[in-house]
């Protein structure tokens, strides 16, 4: 038994360090007399996010690996980190809406958002199962608390408790999977596990195969893959609206980053044995998510089912397992971040202390009463549905073309069919926004908070920009694929 002290290279965890410092400052501020000064809290949160952005972008030029191969801030991680940091930044801004301001203790809340982001970033750059576990738990535990932020509202606490119990349950499976893989291979580093699989094959020992299966169950819970999706609608509906968007986009991006790395680095050599299983999961996830979303009247719940379906589309690219996989997954995750956080953001911008318009009927005529918010919501819905020229269309196009190129024609066809089902319920929202008279008394919608407006504007521009010029973004992401 020998222990070697690994070389410490703080550059590899620079973004995480910046966010941790920011979060700690916020927690300290929450004790003192500055806890109500929104401007200062916002500045600290956005400042640390900006530093993290800068460090992540700097790592694009100079990828680093450190801590005995446990963390690798390579271009693959950078791609996902950009999506995660965008989700966090938008969430920080969107949480300043009227309803959330009435009960949130912003200092604690921003601190938790930053801690969750730290976990997500670690997950994106983790190259050992220990780091994957720590990242996953850092993000999950912060999100359990964030989901229950409406402390006086039973539905929010219920959502938090359900999320917590099922999340911790999934952690048990995940960790048991890690333990069995460790028992079979004697290592926790993804690359060394890959070497083991290269010589023994994935079914070389039943211990290893069972461990991989348990690991997959744990991940299935986190990214809400059917049949492990049951918690998603309840949690997204009950959690504060900006948090739902953050959960959907950020944790999905992070968990997919880790999943892709595990699939291609650790079990890469025999990836063929996996694909049958992942194929079935992808198809199930796309169809169950989309079909159940059709019958939802509550828009938050509908978006929750839609997020399940989107996880299915991303799985399609992972099944393809070719040179297009990484870039199309990153493109999808980036797009999904903007359109999904944006959609939840519009809902939260429409919420006031007296009324939270969550039912699709309550959105009747909003397109005329609040033209800008209505337009933004319509763009997000078109993008989620995959209508050109939005980024949502290009994202689906890349994912399905990866599948076609790998020869999974049927998978792509089923994916397109599932996407066509989804058009119904996305456009239903647009119909209510523009083509229905508001029933009964006209409601006074709250005034748009500037920070919320800025966040929504950025999201709209990002979606249209990536939709109209996808080539330049994709060209960059292709280089991310090569380096993994």
Partner 1 sequence: MSPQHYLVLAGILFTIGVTGVLIRKNALIVFMSIELMLNAVNLTLVTFSHFMRSPDGQVLVFFSIVVAAAEVAVGLALIVALFRLSGSTNLDDFNLLKW
**Min CB(240)–partner 1 separation in Å:** 14
Task: Give the residue with the Cβ less far from partner 1, 85 or 132.
Answer: 132
Least distance to partner 1 from the beta carbon of 226, Å? 15
Closest CA to 463 of 386, 408, 362: 386
Candidates 75, 301, 370, 396: give the one binding partner 1 (CB under 8 A): 301
- Applying CB under 8 A, the span of 144-152, 263-271, 337-345, 459-467 interacting with partner 1 comes to 144-152
- Contact region with partner 1 (CB under 8 A), list: 266-274, 288-296, 313-321, 396-404: 288-296
Please choose, out of 5-13, 289-297, 408-416, 443-451, the segment that lies near partner 1 by the rule CB under 8 A: 289-297
Query: What is 451-463 written as a DSSP string?
Result: HHHHHHHHHHHHH
* Least distance between partner 1 and beta carbon 406 (Å): 35
Rounded distance, CA 231 to CA 241, Å? 16
Binding mask 146-165 for partner 1 (x = CB under 8 A): --x--xx-xx-xxxxxx-xx
Place of tokens 């200062």: 40
String of contacts with partner 1 for each residue 1-30, x by CB under 8 A: x-x---------------------------
Q: Which distant-in-sequence residues (6+ apart) come within 8 Å of 304 by Cβ?
A: 232, 233, 235, 236, 237, 244, 248
Residue 78 and residue 87: Cα distance in Å, rounded? Answer: 14
- 200 membership: H or E segment, kind and range: helix 190-200
Smallest distance, partner 1 to C-beta of residue 168, A: 5
> Least distance to partner 1 from the beta carbon of 122, Å?
12
CB of 60 to partner 1, least distance (A): 29
Helices (H), ranges, 251-370: 252-261, 271-294, 299-320, 325-349, 366-369
Pick the piece of the chain touching partner 1 (CB under 8 A) from 6-14, 172-180, 334-342, 441-449: 172-180
CB atoms within 10 A of CB 152: 7
Shortest distance, position 33 Cβ to partner 1, whole Å: 26
Cα–Cα dist 35/42, whole Å: 11
Please count the other Cβ atoms lying within 10 Å of the Cβ belonging to residue 174.
24
Q: Which of 17, 42, 46, 175 binds partner 1 (CB under 8 A)?
A: 175
- Using CB under 8 A as the binding rule, whether residue 182 contacts partner 1 is answered as yes
CA distances from 472 to 158, 202, 258, 382, 466 (A): 44, 38, 25, 22, 9
What separation in angstroms does the CA of 206 have from each of 210, 272, 337, 338? 6, 17, 38, 42
Q: How far is the CB of 334 from partner 1 (least distance, A)?
A: 29
Which C-beta is closer to partner 1: that of 165 or that of 409? 165
When asked if residue 248 is in the footprint of partner 1 (CB under 8 A), the reply is: no
214-233 residues in contact with partner 1 (CB under 8 A) are 233
Q: Which of 218, 243, 287, 284 is nearest to 95 (CA)?
A: 243
CB of 355 to partner 1, least distance (A): 18
Binding to partner 1 by residue 291, rule CB under 8 A? Answer: no
DSSP labels, 227-246: TS-THHHHHHHHS-HHHHHH
In this chain, which stretch among 46-54, 57-65, 116-124, 177-185 interacts with partner 1, using CB under 8 A?
177-185
Q: In degrees to the nearest 10, what's the CA dihedral of 124, 126, 132, 135?
A: -60
The helix/strand/coil state of 469 is coil
Binding interface with partner 1 (CB under 8 A):
1, 3, 129-130, 133-134, 137, 141, 144-145, 148, 151-152, 154-155, 157-162, 164-165, 168-169, 171-172, 175-176, 178-180, 182-183, 186-188, 233-234, 237-238, 292, 295-296, 301
């Amino acid at each position: 038994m020998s222990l070697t002290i690994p070389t410490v290279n703080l550059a590899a965890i620079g973004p995480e360090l910046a966010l941790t410092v920011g979060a700690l400052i916020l927690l300290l501020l929450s004790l003192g007399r500055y806890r109500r000064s929104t401007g200062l809290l916002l500045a600290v949160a956005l400042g640390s996010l900006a530093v993290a952005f800068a460090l992540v972008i700097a790592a694009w030029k100079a990828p680093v690996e450190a801590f005995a191969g446990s963390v690798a801030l390579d271009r693959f991680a950078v791609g996902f980190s950009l999506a995660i940091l965008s989700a966090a930044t938008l969430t920080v801004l969107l949480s300043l809406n009227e309803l959330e301001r009435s009960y949130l203790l912003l200092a604690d809340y921003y601190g938790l958002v930053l801690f969750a982001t730290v976990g997500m970033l670690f997950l994106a750059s983790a190259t050992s199962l220990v780091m994957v576990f720590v990242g996953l738990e850092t993000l999950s535990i912060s999100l359990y608390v964030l989901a229950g932020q409406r402390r006086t509202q039973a539905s929010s606490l219920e959502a938090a408790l359900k999320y917590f119990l099922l999340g911790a349950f999934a952690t048990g499976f995940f960790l048991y999977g890690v333990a069995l893989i460790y028992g079979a291979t004697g290592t926790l580093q993804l690359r060394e596990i890959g070497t083991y699989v290269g010589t023994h094959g994935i079914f070389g020992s039943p211990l290893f195969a069972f461990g991989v299966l348990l690991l997959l169950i744990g991940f299935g819970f986190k990214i809400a893959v059917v049949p492990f999706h049951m918690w998603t609608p309840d949690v997204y509906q009950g959690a504060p609206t900006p948090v739902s968007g953050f959960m959907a986009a950020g944790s999905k991006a992070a968990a997919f980053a880790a999943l892709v790395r595990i699939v291609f680095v650790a079990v890469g050599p025999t990836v063929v044995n996996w694909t049958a299983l992942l194929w079935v999961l992808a198809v199930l996830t796309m169809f169950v998510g989309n079909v159940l979303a059709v019958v939802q009247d509550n828009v938050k719940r509908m978006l929750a089912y839609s997020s399940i379906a989107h996880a299915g589309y991303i799985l399609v690219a992972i099944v393809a397992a070719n040179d297009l996989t990484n870039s199309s997954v990153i493109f999808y995750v980036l797009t999904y971040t903007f359109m999904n956080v944006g959609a939840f953001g519009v809902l939260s911008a429409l919420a006031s202390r007296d009324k939270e318009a969550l039912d699709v009927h309550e959105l009747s005529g909003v397109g005329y009463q609040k033209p800008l918010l209505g337009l933004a919501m319509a763009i997000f819905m078109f993008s989620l549905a995959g209508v050109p020229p939005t980024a949502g269309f290009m994202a689906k196009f890349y994912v399905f073309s990866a599948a076609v190129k790998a020869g999974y024609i049927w998978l792509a066809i089923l994916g397109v069919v599932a996407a066509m089902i989804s058009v119904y319920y996305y456009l239903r929202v647009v119909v209510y926004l523009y083509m229905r008279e508001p029933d009964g008394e006209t409601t006074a919608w709250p005034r748009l908070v500037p920070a919320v407006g800025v966040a929504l504007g950025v999201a709209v521009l990002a979606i249209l920009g990536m939709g109209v010029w996808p080539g330049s973004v994709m060209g960059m992401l292709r280089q991310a694929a090569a380096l993994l």
